[in-house]
Chain A
Amino acid sequence: MKRREFLILPAKTLGGYLLASTLAGESLFGQNAPKPEADVKIPLRFFTAQEAAVVSAMTERIFPTDASGAGAREAGVVIFIDRQLAGPYGHDKYRYTKGPWVESIPEHGYQGQANPRKIYRDGIAKLGDFTALSAANQDQALIAIERTTFFQMVRTHTLEGMFCDPLHGGNADMVGWRLIGYPGPVMAFRHEIEKYRGVPYPKVEPQSLEQMLGRKVPGWEDEPV
């Protein structure tokens, strides 16, 4: 059996709720949240620790932590991506994958045979020792691959992991939603829509789907493949 790989991160880098929202069902700490100065070990579902480090570094260049606020690191974007790739999406379970595979015009979209897992694995391998580079050199390396399917996919997934419901493992502690003032999947705005017409909605504490419903909702990534 494959040895279980972990992503090791200092607890304080991730949104405070990480353990509640991200590690659900993976009892690493029992009931006790780790101290901020401790490291957290996040079990990986698809990536090796090495690959996770590369992808994490990429997402941090795409959506950096900076003066404008939290970035991919605090949101735990790499955890989101790892789970997506481990689930039906990564395996192309819901894509039409019968041959013959032929190249076609851009109007027909992506016609390649590689599934997201393979696109990541191959793309990461080509990047080499990415984590050893300085931030500026990392940017140069990414600019060089900007037009590839791999980079486009990582960029898309970075935004997804930044602003998804925390049930998917990203947007830890809803740092992404706070950044843009998104209140979460609120069910009733009937009495607000005219009141806040042309008036910014007040900064509220966002609510995740789980908080809204008072119970856990499994993401599609948990469906067996």
Chain B
Amino acid sequence: MERLKPVDVVVIGGGFTGLLMAKELATRTSLSVVVLERGPDRKLLDYMDDMDEVDFSLRFRMMQNISEETVTHRHTTADRAVPVREWGHVRLGTGTGGSGEHWTGVANRYPEDTFVIKSAIKERFPAARIPENLSVQDWTVTWKDIEPYYTKVEELMGIGGKAGNLQGRKIPGGNMFEGPRSKEYPVRPHLQNYAMTVFEKAARELGYNPYINPAATLPADYTNPDGISRPACQYCSYCMLYGCMIGAKAQPTNLLLPILKQKKAFSLRNGCWVRRIVHRDGHAEGVEFMDEQGRECFQPASLVIQSSFTSGNVRSLLLSKIGTPYNPATGEGTLGRNFTHQMSGGGNAFLVYPTKMNAFMAAGGQGMAFSDFDGFNRLEPDAQILRGGTFTGGGGGGHPIASFGATPPGTTTRNWGSAWKQAAIEHNDRTGGGPGFSAEHLAYRQNFLDLDPTYTDKWGDPLLRTTIDWTDHERRMRDFSARISDQMAETMARVSGAKLYQRPAERTGRRSGRYQTASYATTHLHGGAIMSENPREGVVNTFLQHWDVPNLFVLGASAFPHAGPTNPTMTALSLTLRSADALIGRYFKNPGKLV
């Protein structure tokens, strides 16, 4: 094994959280920082050539090579786990920028009470209403702690949106159910397409408060506080699963790398796959990795930053034998606990609009939403659910292959042949559904992460095993969302003159109501190395410092005690900045436990 020259900081994974931490450390301290990233280098120019649906949307050319590493899944400990063999329910990124390159750029904050979920549920419901196996816990941060960081991340990226709650003042047109913001969004909201205007009209008619989604796909030219200038989005639609060829979408390679590259004390090494964190007596000594030539190397470092996405973080800790693996039978151990996956739902309506919608003009993150049912808002007692969620719609992004073939239920007997072809051409770019639903996934004792006893990665290391299923609570949340969504669809049909159909619940996951890995859900996996008030309830403290190994910090959504109702990145990056402040303000002056 080759022993490299010691550095101050080694960062495992050059994705969104890792590079953001690197930028903070490299610009605010003089420490030497090395980022080890297993995937390739990425440049703006690569994204000119990628406007191709087959390779990038359908074959996942930008994704991590799943033949080298995947995860396995089983519903319960009584089942046998099988590997996810091709990208299905999640799609993990690789290379410089990680999933932050091909993400969609939906840029919500979590609601205020998400951070105090356990206390909030306890206060609101009698004990009998709370499922016995619920394992939610408070986040160790409150709105007041995180709000300033949300603001910083929005300014870093140039999030386009409209405030709905400015220091307590409620503003129609924004999300009036968000926590109080200290500042307006730095950039105006996105332009509206046809589908968004229909969504907005219908939502208003039903008395909801629709708003344009906050988005990291710049709605207008913008220069951020670091002096990084980016041009406005062009609505090219090759956004989610693609990098942006003009840098309008906030990505680590256009926000963070240009600054990092000027720093002598910073280096990024691609093709370097970290396999173990080496530690002794509660102290991390560095990391072992395979370099681009397949050589085994040891990188000594005074501080280790673990930032390889939720699944990578938890697996790395398990493989390195840091902390105590969680045992769902006894409730002992913390590593792997509270694994969650953002919930989604929606209705069964199928709409045929009187006009073509030009869905090929679209941006990631562009769309409408209403949060009137978020959290405890307007919870109907007979829905028997603990939390609601946000309804979304109006996003475009219709690529010619994936969007072809939608025909109203019952139009043709089969989905091939002349009659179907004709119907599909006639309805092309004219169909849609009711709003989708995005909601909190509460944590349960039985959903967790550990190492798979059978399947291995390309080096022979065990894969991460996910044990997770939806419970009746999530199924009731789905039923609830279907009711609201179908009612919206009816109204959307009325205000637009669209024809309304009901569609049978087709997808396997939907039909069985069980967790599935075959088709895309979201790449929003959370937990497994959660933040906690004390070492008995989690893996890291409120500054994302490992409870047992103080010179190890674990960034990203693995720290989330449960899944918030919307997309996670703004929250993950806010916690990263807070962690950076604690490192720079306190830790480096006196390395040791921050809590």
Q: Which residues of A contact B (CB under 8 A)?
A: 61-64, 66-69, 71, 89, 92-98, 100, 102, 104, 106-111, 139, 142-143, 146, 155, 158-160, 162-165, 167-168, 176-177, 179-183, 185-190, 192-194, 196-201, 209, 212-213, 217, 219-220
CB pair A155–B416 under 8 Å, yes or no, is yes
- Give the Cβ gap from B183 to chain A, nearest Cβ, in Å: 26
Kindly identify which residue among B52, B66, B73, B192 contacts A185, using a CB–CB cutoff of 8 Å: B52
List the B side residues contacting A168 at CB < 8 Å.
52, 54
CB pair B84–A96 under 8 Å, yes or no, is yes
Does B380 count as interface, using CB distance less than 8 angstroms?
no
Per CB-CB distance, the 5 closest pairs between chain A and chain B, nearest first, are A109-B518, A185-B51, A107-B516, A189-B361, A163-B400
CB pair B85–A95 under 8 Å, yes or no, is yes
Given known pairs A94-B59, A106-B518, A109-B85, the reply for A180 and B429 (CB within 8 Å) is yes
Given known pairs A94-B60, A95-B86, A185-B51, the reply for A100 and B454 (CB within 8 Å) is yes
CB pair B404–A94 under 8 Å, yes or no, is no
List the A side residues contacting B192 at CB < 8 Å.
194, 197
Kindly identify which residue among B194, B238, B401, B428 contacts A197, using a CB–CB cutoff of 8 Å: B194
- Give the Cβ gap from B388 to chain A, nearest Cβ, in Å: 26
Does B502 count as interface, using CB distance less than 8 angstroms?
no
CB pair B401–A159 under 8 Å, yes or no, is yes
List the B side residues contacting A185 at CB < 8 Å.
51-52, 236, 238
CB pair B82–A108 under 8 Å, yes or no, is yes
CB pair B421–A64 under 8 Å, yes or no, is yes
CB pair B512–A159 under 8 Å, yes or no, is no
Kindly identify which residue among B55, B234, B456, B517 contacts A108, using a CB–CB cutoff of 8 Å: B517
- 8 residue pairs from A and B, CB less than 8 Å apart: A61-B416, A159-B405, A160-B58, A163-B404, A176-B400, A185-B238, A217-B49, A217-B52
Does B343 count as interface, using CB distance less than 8 angstroms?
no
Kindly identify which residue among A110, A162, A212 contacts B85, using a CB–CB cutoff of 8 Å: A110
CB pair A193–B235 under 8 Å, yes or no, is yes
List the B side residues contacting A165 at CB < 8 Å.
52-54
Scoring B residues 362 to 401 as 1 if CB is less than 8 Å from chain A, else 0, what string do you get?
A: 0000000000000000000000000000000000000011
**Could you tell me the distance between the alpha carbons of A201 and B404 in the complex, rounded to whole angstroms?**
17
CB pair A187–B234 under 8 Å, yes or no, is yes
List the A side residues contacting B48 at CB < 8 Å.
213
List the A side residues contacting B73 at CB < 8 Å.
108
Chain B residues with a Cβ closer than 8 Å to the other chain, count:
68
| Complex interface residues of chain B between 219 and 271 (CB less than 8 A to chain A) | 232-238, 245-246
| Complex interface residues of chain B between 298 and 318 (CB less than 8 A to chain A) | none
- Give the Cβ gap from A181 to chain B, nearest Cβ, in Å: 7
- Give the Cβ gap from B86 to chain A, nearest Cβ, in Å: 5
Scoring B residues 398 to 418 as 1 if CB is less than 8 Å from chain A, else 0, what string do you get?
A: 001100110000000011111
Given known pairs A68-B425, A108-B73, the reply for A96 and B356 (CB within 8 Å) is no
CB pair B59–A89 under 8 Å, yes or no, is yes
Does B70 count as interface, using CB distance less than 8 angstroms?
yes
List the A side residues contacting B54 at CB < 8 Å.
160, 164-165, 168, 219-220
Does B350 count as interface, using CB distance less than 8 angstroms?
no
Kindly identify which residue among B61, B86, B454, B508 contacts A107, using a CB–CB cutoff of 8 Å: B508
Kindly identify which residue among B51, B401, B414 contacts A143, using a CB–CB cutoff of 8 Å: B414
CB pair B401–A109 under 8 Å, yes or no, is no
Most interface-central of B237, B404, B517 (chain A CB within 10 A): B404
Query: Which residue of B is nearest A93, CB measured?
Result: B67
Query: Which residue of A is nearest B55, CB measured?
Result: A220
List the A side residues contacting B516 at CB < 8 Å.
106-109
Given known pairs A180-B428, A185-B52, A197-B193, the reply for A62 and B417 (CB within 8 Å) is yes
CB pair B82–A104 under 8 Å, yes or no, is yes
- Give the Cβ gap from B311 to chain A, nearest Cβ, in Å: 14
List the A side residues contacting B245 at CB < 8 Å.
187
Does B514 count as interface, using CB distance less than 8 angstroms?
yes
List the A side residues contacting B55 at CB < 8 Å.
219-220
- Give the Cβ gap from A151 to chain B, nearest Cβ, in Å: 9
CB pair B512–A107 under 8 Å, yes or no, is yes
**Could you tell me the distance between the alpha carbons of A142 and B417 in the complex, rounded to whole angstroms?**
10
**Could you tell me the distance between the alpha carbons of A88 and B400 in the complex, rounded to whole angstroms?**
23
CB pair B425–A193 under 8 Å, yes or no, is no
CB pair B236–A66 under 8 Å, yes or no, is no
**Could you tell me the distance between the alpha carbons of A163 and B52 in the complex, rounded to whole angstroms?**
11
CB pair A164–B421 under 8 Å, yes or no, is no
Query: Which residue of A is nearest B58, CB measured?
Result: A160
Given known pairs A98-B83, A110-B85, the reply for A182 and B360 (CB within 8 Å) is yes
- Give the Cβ gap from A15 to chain B, nearest Cβ, in Å: 15
**Could you tell me the distance between the alpha carbons of A48 and B66 in the complex, rounded to whole angstroms?**
30
Does B282 count as interface, using CB distance less than 8 angstroms?
no
CB pair B60–A193 under 8 Å, yes or no, is no
Does B348 count as interface, using CB distance less than 8 angstroms?
no
Does B536 count as interface, using CB distance less than 8 angstroms?
no
CB pair A181–B429 under 8 Å, yes or no, is yes
| Complex interface residues of chain B between 3 and 60 (CB less than 8 A to chain A) | 48-49, 51-55, 58-60
Does B455 count as interface, using CB distance less than 8 angstroms?
yes
Query: Which residue of B is nearest A106, CB measured?
Result: B508
Query: Which residue of A is nearest B232, CB measured?
Result: A190
List the B side residues contacting A209 at CB < 8 Å.
49, 51-52
CB pair B417–A192 under 8 Å, yes or no, is no
Does B553 count as interface, using CB distance less than 8 angstroms?
no
A98-B455, A108-B518, A209-B49 known; 7 new pairs, CB 8 Å cut-off, are A62-B417, A69-B425, A104-B82, A155-B416, A165-B52, A190-B191, A198-B194
**Could you tell me the distance between the alpha carbons of A193 and B516 in the complex, rounded to whole angstroms?**
36
Does B135 count as interface, using CB distance less than 8 angstroms?
no
Given known pairs A89-B59, A102-B80, the reply for A189 and B417 (CB within 8 Å) is no
CB pair A61–B417 under 8 Å, yes or no, is yes
List the B side residues contacting A188 at CB < 8 Å.
234-236
Most interface-central of A67, A104, A139 (chain B CB within 10 A): A104
List the A side residues contacting B67 at CB < 8 Å.
92-97
Given known pairs A179-B425, A181-B429, the reply for A164 and B401 (CB within 8 Å) is yes
List the B side residues contacting A62 at CB < 8 Å.
416-417
List the A side residues contacting B428 at CB < 8 Å.
180-181
Query: Which residue of A is nearest B454, CB measured?
Result: A100
Query: Which residue of A is nearest B428, CB measured?
Result: A180
Given known pairs A109-B86, A193-B361, the reply for A146 and B421 (CB within 8 Å) is no
**Could you tell me the distance between the alpha carbons of A168 and B192 in the complex, rounded to whole angstroms?**
33
CB pair B404–A96 under 8 Å, yes or no, is no
Given known pairs A198-B194, A209-B51, A209-B52, the reply for A190 and B234 (CB within 8 Å) is yes
**Could you tell me the distance between the alpha carbons of A197 and B396 in the complex, rounded to whole angstroms?**
12
- Give the Cβ gap from B172 to chain A, nearest Cβ, in Å: 22
CB pair B361–A196 under 8 Å, yes or no, is yes
List the A side residues contacting B194 at CB < 8 Å.
197-198
CB pair A181–B454 under 8 Å, yes or no, is no
CB pair A63–B416 under 8 Å, yes or no, is yes
**Could you tell me the distance between the alpha carbons of A179 and B86 in the complex, rounded to whole angstroms?**
31
CB pair B417–A96 under 8 Å, yes or no, is no
Given known pairs A68-B421, A98-B456, the reply for A189 and B58 (CB within 8 Å) is no
